[in-house]
Structure 1
Amino acid sequence: MTQRTAREIHLRCMVQTEQGLFVAHCIDLNLAAQARSSEEAKAKLDEMIRSHFMAVSEIAREGDMDSAMALLKRRSPLSIRAKWHVAHALGQIRASFRAVGKAWEENRPSPLNAPA
């Protein structure tokens, strides 16, 4: 008998501030949660994702795989997805600079102005 393993689902999420609150978005499931802190917004979103997955699981157990799959493919509006892509790209750029080292500017005397 072969052992089945759970298939992982890659979810893209982000937190941003909107009107003085932190809003956590899961752009792959079109879910969002808001709170007064980033950590609280993330925790609320995590609970929403768990509840969403439980509902999808129940629908699948009832035999309605089309509806279950549709609920796993609910993408956020383009404006939210675009914000995620920008934030992700900026994060990648920041990480690449950390890997290279710090950059700086400084002024030095030109060797052409050195006394002879």
Structure 2
Amino acid sequence: MSQKPNLVSCYFERDGDQWLGFCLDFTLVTQARSLEEAHRKLDSQIRDYVSDALVGQDRAYANQLLNRRAPLKYWAKFYWTMFQQVLRHRKSKRRRAVKEHMSIPATCA
């Protein structure tokens, strides 16, 4: 199975004393006390999710699981935050949007 790099869209938002991390491509969410911890937890969750979809007992549904997108309102927040980051040339203390590379087999992407 060949691998192709994909960009995974993630959005982080501060909610009180917690950071929420959203993976918009797979509709995954995590929370932590710091942005860095939320980022690590979401990265781990994404890798586990993709691995389970590809080699776990749900592999028959891999195509559906790897193409499960978040609702439009979260994508709007993601792109608005990306737009603000580009305009301001700095990151907000309350929100972050990132695109990260992840290899997913081409047959499932």
2:7 to 4, 7, 10: 10
Residue 69 of structure 1 corresponds to 63
Residue 77 of structure 2 corresponds to 83
Deviation at 1:20, TM superposition (A): 2.5
More helix by share: 1
More strand by share: 2
Residues 61 and 17 of structure 1, relative CA distance in 2, 3 Å threshold: closer
Rounded to whole Å, the distance in 1 between the matches of 2:39 and 2:72 is: 21
- Which protein shows a greater Rg? 1
Residues 28 and 61 of structure 1, relative CA distance in 2, 3 Å threshold: closer
Amino acid at match of 1:37: S
State the superposition RMSD in angstroms. 2.0
Identity across the alignment (%): 29
Rounded to whole Å, the distance in 1 between the matches of 2:58 and 2:32 is: 33
**Unmatched runs of 5 consecutive residues or more in structure 1:** 96-116
Native 8 Å contact 1:15 1:25 kept in 2? yes
Deviation at 1:94, TM superposition (A): 2.1
Is 1:41–2:10 an aligned residue pair?
Answer: no
Q: TM-score, normalised by structure 2?
A: 0.72
Deviations along 1:14-71, whole A, 9 cap, x unmatched?
Answer: 2111233101111111111100000000010011001011111115995x2xx21111
Native 8 Å contact 2:52 2:58 kept in 1? no
Rounded to whole Å, the distance in 1 between the matches of 2:17 and 2:69 is: 25
Secondary structure in 1 matching 2:6: coil
If asked which structure has higher relative contact order (CA below 8 Å, sep 6+), I would say 2
Structure 1 segments, 4+ long, off by >3 Å, are: 59-62
